[in-house]
Structures are given as C-alpha cells and as structure tokens.
Amino acid sequence: MQEFEFNKLIILGDLFDASANIKEKQIFSDFLKTLDTNIVLVLGNHDRLSEEEYKGYGIKTVKDSLKMDMFYLTHKPTDSNNINIHGHIHPGYYKRSLLVRNKLPCFVIEDNSICLPAFGGATGKNSFVPLTQRKVYVIKNNSVKLL
C-alpha cells in the first residue's frame, strides 16, 4: 500500500468480528499507524466491534452504502443503476491437482457487479467459475490472472 498515493481507504465490511483477539487487534492497530489516510468501513454482517472501538482506530463507519461517482459501495451485493462494488460473498476459485487442493481468492465481475476477494483464513471462499457473462480474476503469488 505504501507504493500508491491515496487519500482514502474504503473497506467493504467484515474487517474482523467481535471474536477477534487482542493480538489481532494490536497487529491491525500497528498497521494503521503506518498509513496516513482516512479509513472508512462500510459495516458488514461480521463487524461487531463497538462504534467507540472503530473510532479508537481512527475508522469512520457507514451503515449500508457509500456512493462515489458511478460506483455504489456496499458490503452485500445490491441492485443498482450504478456499478456495485461489494464484498460479503468471499469468492474463491477451487484449484486441484494430484498433490494440492487450494481455494484461491478472486474478483468476480458480472453485469454491474464487482465482488471483491476476501483474504482472511476464516472466510470460507465460496466457489466461482467463469461463465459467459462472468469474469473471474484469480489472485496467486501476488499477481492477478483472468481465467
């Protein structure tokens, strides 16, 4: 993130839930100290910290959505006349070989919807495969590849 100049970081939910332990919160807090930017969290269904805790991290929270130009930013996918960028689904692509079974995080793009990947270990990663109307971009080894 240090490579890019940006003035706002927007997180589309499920940052961490109420079961996050003290060590995880401290690692996150230390990371935030390295950023010089405004942070906005569109609350997701697993975001259970108190408003005061988010404020303590310097995070502004938004309950349902955030509109930015032609983009409608939400946690859960929604119908919109704009391009809806969302999380919630935790998309993954199942890659199998004789020795390895791995679900890779991915972006899923179809119609006016862009579903962002999830990177946490507890996210589950729901399986997605490319279809005629759907593009799946897999993330592996710090690169993004269109399937």
Beta bridge partners of 19: none
Distance CA 64, CA 100 (A): 39
Taking alpha carbons only, the member of 41, 36, 44, 131 closest to residue 93 is 131
Provide DSSP, 53-98. HHHHTTEEEESSEEEETTEEEESS----SSEEEE-SS-EEEEEE-S
pLDDT of 128 higher than 80 = no
pLDDT class of 1 with cuts at 50, 70, 90: low
Mean pLDDT of 18-40: 85
pLDDT of 71 higher than 90 = yes
| Token couple for 125 | 């990663």
Residue 18: per-residue pLDDT = 62
pLDDT of 21 higher than 90 = no
Residue 85: per-residue pLDDT = 97
Range in 12-16, 17-21, 80-84, 143-147 the model is least confident about: 17-21
Residue 124: per-residue pLDDT = 62
Residue 127: per-residue pLDDT = 78
Range in 59-63, 119-123, 132-136, 137-141 the model is least confident about: 119-123
Residue 84 contacts residue 118 (beta carbons within 8 Å):
no
pLDDT of 38 higher than 80 = yes
